[in-house]
Structure 1
Amino acid sequence: MTLPTLLDIEASGFGRGSYPIEVGLARADGSTCAFLIQPLTEWTHWDPKAELLHGISRGRLQREGYPVRQVARWLNDELTEPGIAYSDSWGYDNTWLSLLFHHAGMLPGFRLEALRILLSERQQALWSHTKELIIREQGIHRHRAGDDAHLLQLTYLRTLALAAGA
């Protein structure tokens, strides 16, 4: 079985003025990767509450982040072949992805879709409980893009098996 490619984005905050600070993928083969994004000069919004969640400081992004264009190019390299990635927070992630590509002066070579379109009603009913169980079992560090994408993929697999009665 081919796993869906999952994408997760961490951001400077929520709402107006927020921007992507980290993007992570869980690939179809189960491997994961993530990149910090160097904020552009005009990206000034910073929510200290968001920083408490993801633990990434603006200073760290400036030191260790990759330029916007490089991250957009990497995403296209990774996702053009599958052509699609899924997100559990499509509304936010799609907005931040659009912002990233706009500022990179590029178009995405893939679509981002809502993860829920892949889930049966049974999987949706099992989702929250299963996700929390996996977090506890595996000690997953939440609110880092690569780890969250991996968690979504694991939750997808487990709910699929449970829904099938395995």
Structure 2
Amino acid sequence: MLAIDFEASCLPRHGRSFPIEVGLAGADGARSWIIRPHPDWAGWGWTAEAEALHGLSRARIERDGLPAHVVLDQLVEAVGGQRVVADSLIDPYWLETLAAAAGRAAPFAIDHVATLLDERQVDEAQISAAVRIADQRCPTRHRAGSDALWLACVMAQLWPDLAAAPPVRMPLMSCY
């Protein structure tokens, strides 16, 4: 099971938003990709509020970002058929937006972590304890890789049996 997180140009309440970074994390680490804005996204929303939160400027994503199809191909390879979980209900929208820019349908589903919490019947005390540990181990937030790693840490605390799955090959960052 892997955790995924997207950073975006703005929140939907500010206009049409597009993904600017995606992070994927498992028990062994995380990887992230900066996404170059696709021509189809011209004129879509960009806010100073979002930029201040994630710290990625428009100039940086245009300069350092990879094309949508490259990011999607590498993301699919890293997922490798594993279950993907997010803590935001809007992450599937950003995956669909990325995939559409690459000329494809979304290549996998993203489950919300609440689904797992319900499946495993986790109580509030367990969640609070897992969040405290993740906050200590992953204090840097609002970048896709570190946010995905934070969620992977929460999941590892709640479901060590799932975290013991074979590792994915992406240990580019770690807060364990």
In the superposition, the TM-score normalised over structure 2's length comes to 0.78
| Residue 3 of structure 2 is aligned to residue 6 of structure 1 | yes
Shift of 1:160: 4.2
Q: Is the 8 A contact 1:123 1:159 kept in 2?
A: no
Q: CA RMSD in A?
A: 2.0
CA deviation string 1:9-41 (max 9, x = no partner): 0111111311100000013x4221000000123
Q: Percent identity?
A: 32
Change in Cα spacing, 1:156 to 1:66, as seen in structure 2 (3 Å) is same
Counterparts of 1:103 and 1:138, CA distance in 2: 35
Change in Cα spacing, 1:57 to 1:129, as seen in structure 2 (3 Å) is farther
Shift of 1:108: 3.3
Which residue does the alignment assign to 1:164?
none
Counterparts of 1:60 and 1:93, CA distance in 2: 22
Change in Cα spacing, 1:129 to 1:54, as seen in structure 2 (3 Å) is farther
Q: Is the 8 A contact 2:92 2:109 kept in 1?
A: no
Counterparts of 2:56 and 2:123, CA distance in 1: 32
Shift of 1:53: 0.8
Counterparts of 1:124 and 1:75, CA distance in 2: 32
What letter corresponds to residue 17 of structure 2 in structure 1?
Answer: S
Unpaired runs of 5+ in structure 1?
162-166
Which residue does the alignment assign to 1:35?
33
Counterparts of 1:57 and 1:128, CA distance in 2: 33
Aligned residues, how many?
154
Which residue does the alignment assign to 1:153?
152
Which residue does the alignment assign to 1:113?
111
Shift of 1:75: 1.6
Counterparts of 2:157 and 2:80, CA distance in 1: 27
What letter corresponds to residue 11 of structure 2 in structure 1?
Answer: F
Counterparts of 1:124 and 1:55, CA distance in 2: 32
Counterparts of 1:143 and 1:128, CA distance in 2: 20
Counterparts of 2:124 and 2:87, CA distance in 1: 12
Q: Is the 8 A contact 2:99 2:107 kept in 1?
A: no
Shift of 1:107: 2.6
Change in Cα spacing, 1:87 to 1:124, as seen in structure 2 (3 Å) is farther
Counterparts of 1:106 and 1:123, CA distance in 2: 39
CA deviation string 1:55-78 (max 9, x = no partner): 111110011000011111112212
Counterparts of 2:124 and 2:155, CA distance in 1: 10
Which structure has more RCO (C-alpha within 8 Å, separation ≥ 6)?
2
Which residue does the alignment assign to 2:77?
77
Tell me, what secondary structure is at the counterpart of 1:105? coil
